[in-house]
Structure 1
Amino acid sequence: MTSPTAHLRGAHRHAPWVSLRCAGGHAASDPALWRCPDCEAPWELATSPEFDPQAIDTTTWSLWRYAAMLPAVPPITLGEGGTPLVRVAVPEGEFLAKLEFLSPTGSYKDRGTAVVVSHLRALGIEEAVEDSSGNAGASLAAYAAAAGVRARVFVPAHAGAGKKRQMAEMGAEVVEVAGGRGAAAVACRQDTGAAAYASHCWNPLFLSGQSTCAWEIWEQLGGSVPDAVVCPVGQGNLFLGLARGFATLRRAGLVAAVPRMYAVQSAACAPVAQAWRAGWPQPVAVDEGVTIAEGILTSRPVRGDEILRVLRHTGGAAVSVADDEVRAAQRHLRGAGLSVEPTSAVAVAALPLLRDQLAGAEVVVPLTGSGLKTL
């Protein structure tokens, strides 16, 4: 029997090299480097295909229907993407929910991980390391297993037991680190050895994968985009991937304007919301704090300046919510038949705060992680 993804094999016959540069103009001498060694800035793709609706592969409903617009790599796929867009009404408000928690490993991270691991495998890399609070590590473990790549994941010792089990059961080595999310990142970068650092925070290919979510929304809305998107933000990878994806649609002349983008953080750790209120060009580091929304516990996002630029350029805003508001939103989502982890409920919890700004708007909220992970 032919594999459902067999038609993807050989879809990219280009060399696996992806050209990278930083904001300072430095070019990467090695495509496996995780950041610019000269200025320590994150890499960006030096060139990227523009969006072409005629190039969509309509024979598949996964993110690889947009293969022509993604970096040229043979895909490692578990069927990621193609998530439903459904209308939801809860006490916090009515919106269209993009059900990213139905991804293969139960979180939106699979879009970015699929593209990153495909690239690493094309380079012949046999081992990858990552630091994660849970979902990114679980995603890397699964895609590394599919690619035949060894995975090692550094996690805070207090990370959710279910997510750590998910990583281990997929064959990843789980390294628990005392301290917070930042401590896990430091420990990981100090102990990569010969492995590639497959960081979802730093790798621009991860953002390429996340952009496919915007393109799916455009298709699901019949060739249009919503008025606004409200998104939980830690590192802001999904937020930025969506923003970049919508921007490519506008550059292609397919939409007249991009949605207003709203970033939502936990009040326990809200560097973006703090910088937004103060009018700063970039966030400053804050204490990680303690929150049930552990997936967005980020003291200073790598691309925080870009997040703030997107907020300004799209007419959006950044807000923060307390854990009690998140619990209520999570409970109301369950009442609507949607089981999500607390981090996913953060954006829904913010809807009452944004009620005046969103009045009459068509709003999309991505629900990012499955509630099954926290049972």
Structure 2
Amino acid sequence: MTHALPGYVCPEDGTRADARTAPWCCPACDGPWDLDFAPDPASPLEPAAGPNSLWRYGPVLPLPGAFSVSLAEGHTPLVPLAERVHAKLDFLMPTLSFKDRGAVMLAELARRLSPDRVVADSSGNAGTSVAAYCARAGLDCEVFVPEGTSEKKTEQMRAHGAAVRVVPGGREAAAVAARSAADEAGVFYASHVFNPYFLHGTKTYVYEIWEELGGRLPDALVVPVGNGTLLLGAALAVEELAERGVRSPALIAVQSAAVAPLAAAFAAGTEDAAPVPQLPTLAEGIAIPAPPRARQILAAVRKSGGTFLTVPDDRLREAQRDLARRGLFVEPTAAACWAAVGPGAPGDPLAGRTAIVPLCGAGTKTGLAG
């Protein structure tokens, strides 16, 4: 039985394209795609009856039919951090980061499209995740990374069989190199930013919270934001669950104070974000000076009644160490949300609300911040 793949639609100009033949970005505006897909809120959703992976949410995922790519990702635990605040331990995913949620979707999509090779660009975690899931799917993989990327992460990519291309310059230089390769025939661009199937993988983060909390969500979801793939996935899930009668939480977005284009735009009340300089920060995973989905991220936070918070590197160091003393060793980027709302955070950012923070990447990938 042949199942149709949901196609792409441009959120800016409405251009549509078939997922099997589409270029990696909208040909009219060069922007990222959205997906022409909305699950039926009347369809039964009984994850406990499904497999022990994110495919347990099959009825709300855009890849119909039987799946074959999985490493039993998802279903990560919630643990209390403070009164009314829990952490979701996504650093316990197969490649030690939340990016597995989106990478498994891209790998399954690529398997169905049968490209000659898969290319990706990453500052680390997305690349290791795509490499692992391409290995699982039997796909040739090439990852473009900026110079200075953690050797532990590039070693993991190579261990999974990926060809690693180190690109002089920063994160954007690696993206440009990957997109140039993606324009070649027979190449699937496994972009965690431009391909919306990735966002429909990250939305399972919120579906799991809904399941773990017995059919409800907390007052607030605190999410680190660079390219916004976790936040936009969360926003998708919140909207879909609202159709099922679940009360929607506020989305609290966290950026590094050193590279915070979205926080600046939110404070200024603008609909889009102006690029900012690429300054050094411990939170390298969210140091994105010009996020391609900036307009969508800002709109999602505003619609939820949420806000943006920024954290300096000294708070990131403190938060990483505080979490480690609580038995949770995560990389500095993964400590950003705890830095924003945990002990010592300025003001009262949660205002007494229940909240969940994601711990997105394991500390073994980077070590303790100096």
The answer to whether the superposition gives a TM-score over 0.5 is: yes
| Distance in 1 of aligned mates of 2:109 and 2:213 | 30
Compared with structure 1, are the counterparts of its residues 94 and 344 closer, same or farther at alpha carbon in structure 2 (3 Å cutoff)?
Answer: farther
Aligned counterpart, 2:32:
42
| Distance in 2 of aligned mates of 1:51 and 1:100 | 27
Please list, as runs of the form range in 1=range in 2, the aligned pairs for 1:57-96 lying within 5 A after superposition: 57=47, 58-73=49-64, 74-75=66-67, 76-89=69-82, 95-96=85-86
**Deviation digits for residues 349-371 of structure 1 (CA, Å, limit 9, x no counterpart):** 11154752412211100110011
Compared with structure 1, are the counterparts of its residues 85 and 354 closer, same or farther at alpha carbon in structure 2 (3 Å cutoff)?
Answer: farther
The one of 185, 192, 196 equivalent to 1:200 is 192
Contact 1:126 1:148 in 2 (8 A): no
**Deviation digits for residues 181-220 of structure 1 (CA, Å, limit 9, x no counterpart):** 0111011111233321110011100000011111110111
| Distance in 1 of aligned mates of 2:127 and 2:53 | 21
Contact 1:288 1:299 in 2 (8 A): yes
| Distance in 1 of aligned mates of 2:208 and 2:286 | 24
Name the amino acid aligned to 2:54: L
Contact 2:43 2:59 in 1 (8 A): no
Asked if 1:340 is matched to 2:333, the reply is no
| Distance in 2 of aligned mates of 1:51 and 1:366 | 26
Please list, as runs of the form range in 1=range in 2, the aligned pairs for 1:172-211 lying within 5 A after superposition: 172-192=162-182, 193-194=184-185, 195-211=187-203
| Distance in 2 of aligned mates of 1:16 and 1:291 | 43
Contact 1:144 1:151 in 2 (8 A): yes
Moved more, 66-75 or 279-288: 66-75
| Distance in 2 of aligned mates of 1:48 and 1:149 | 29
Aligned counterpart, 1:247:
239
Asked if 1:226 is matched to 2:218, the reply is yes
| Distance in 2 of aligned mates of 1:77 and 1:354 | 41
Aligned counterpart, 1:10:
none
Name the amino acid aligned to 2:71: L
Q: Secondary structure at the match of 2:16?
A: coil
Contact 2:131 2:141 in 1 (8 A): yes
**Deviation digits for residues 272-296 of structure 1 (CA, Å, limit 9, x no counterpart):** 1111111111111111110111111
Aligned counterpart, 1:27:
16
Contact 2:5 2:19 in 1 (8 A): no
**Deviation digits for residues 218-277 of structure 1 (CA, Å, limit 9, x no counterpart):** 111111100001111100100111111011100122x1x311111111111111111111
Unaligned runs of 5+ residues in structure 2 are none
Aligned counterpart, 1:18:
6
Aligned counterpart, 1:125:
115
Q: 1:41, CA displacement in angstroms? A: 2.2
| Distance in 2 of aligned mates of 1:303 and 1:206 | 13
Compared with structure 1, are the counterparts of its residues 347 and 18 closer, same or farther at alpha carbon in structure 2 (3 Å cutoff)?
Answer: same
Q: Secondary structure at the match of 1:187?
A: helix
Size of the alignment, in residue pairs? 358
| Distance in 1 of aligned mates of 2:84 and 2:277 | 33
Moved more, 117-126 or 45-54: 45-54
Percent of aligned pairs with the same residue?
46
Q: Secondary structure at the match of 1:55?
A: coil
Q: 1:60, CA displacement in angstroms? A: 2.2
Compared with structure 1, are the counterparts of its residues 51 and 116 closer, same or farther at alpha carbon in structure 2 (3 Å cutoff)?
Answer: farther
Q: 1:54, CA displacement in angstroms? A: 2.3
Contact 2:6 2:19 in 1 (8 A): no
Q: 1:180, CA displacement in angstroms? A: 0.6
Please list, as runs of the form range in 1=range in 2, the aligned pairs for 1:98-117 lying within 5 A after superposition: 98-117=88-107
| Distance in 1 of aligned mates of 2:260 and 2:248 | 25
Compared with structure 1, are the counterparts of its residues 211 and 150 closer, same or farther at alpha carbon in structure 2 (3 Å cutoff)?
Answer: same
| Distance in 2 of aligned mates of 1:155 and 1:94 | 38
Please list, as runs of the form range in 1=range in 2, the aligned pairs for 1:186-335 lying within 5 A after superposition: 186-192=176-182, 193-194=184-185, 195-253=187-245, 255=246, 257-335=247-325
Name the amino acid aligned to 2:98: Y
Q: Secondary structure at the match of 2:334?
A: helix
Q: RMSD between aligned alpha carbons?
A: 1.6
Name the amino acid aligned to 2:61: L
| Distance in 2 of aligned mates of 1:196 and 1:165 | 23
| Distance in 2 of aligned mates of 1:311 and 1:47 | 21
Q: 1:155, CA displacement in angstroms? A: 0.3
Contact 2:141 2:161 in 1 (8 A): yes
Unaligned runs of 5+ residues in structure 1 are 1-12
Compared with structure 1, are the counterparts of its residues 151 and 196 closer, same or farther at alpha carbon in structure 2 (3 Å cutoff)?
Answer: same
| Distance in 2 of aligned mates of 1:230 and 1:173 | 35
